[in-house]
Amino acid sequence: MSLLSMLFGEKKKSANVAKERLSLIIARERIDQDGPDFLPQMRDELMQVIAKYVKIDQEDIKFNLQKQGNMEMLEVNIVLPDQK
Amino acid sequence: MSLLSMLFGEKKKSANVAKERLSLIIARERIDQDGPDFLPQMRDELMQVIAKYVKIDQEDIKFNLQKQGNMEMLEVNIVLPDQK
């Protein structure tokens, strides 16, 4: 299964109405866990960049933070409002 | 298979030396293909944000752009230099 279909595949089935979607994933593999966790702050700044390119409704953004061993992954899913 | 292990799993086997890694994935599902392709410009701005948080050597960045139907995905893999 490709990463692309993993990202968008499942949601597609449940969404009958075609919508544009944007997903941002930031994943970090750390060797030592003592360092600062900058992902949340970095996420906010990344969102500001994205908002320059696409119109985003705050309520259409879903965040998901996962940790697994020495890996952490922040997933941001945005349903873009209709442009037409 | 989780998205996390898909992102980092394979590389781990080939890398004997432990390195910190950061991956950024921007995926976009478009309804119509006529609109502007802003991913390359957005990528550059996102990289500037990331560079504020982690030291990045330009040669340790790998970009990968995939298109599949109405989906496009930009993957950025960064091996972080040793902090110690």
B8-42 pLDDT, tens digit per residue, is 765 544 444 677 889 999 898 887 777 777 888 88
Q: Does A66 touch chain B (CB under 8 A)?
A: yes
Helix (H) or strand (E) holding A75: strand A71-80
pLDDT tens track for B33-70:
777 778 888 888 998 998 998 888 888 889 888 888 88
B70 contact A CB<8A: no
Cβ distance of A27 and B27 shorter than 8 Å: no
Given an 8 Å threshold on Cβ–Cβ distance, is A31 in contact with B42?
no
Q: How many residues does chain A have?
A: 84
What is the chain A residue with the closest CA to B6?
A3
Distance from the first to the final alpha carbon of chain B: 33
Among A65, A69, A70, A67, which residue's Cα sits nearest to residue A35?
Answer: A70
A39, amino acid identity = L
Q: How far is A23 from chain B (nearest CA, A)?
A: 5
Q: How many alpha carbons fall within 13 Å on the CB side of residue A84?
A: 7
Length of chain B: 84
Check residue B40 and give its pLDDT. Answer: 80
Q: What confidence score (pLDDT) does residue B49 get? A: 93
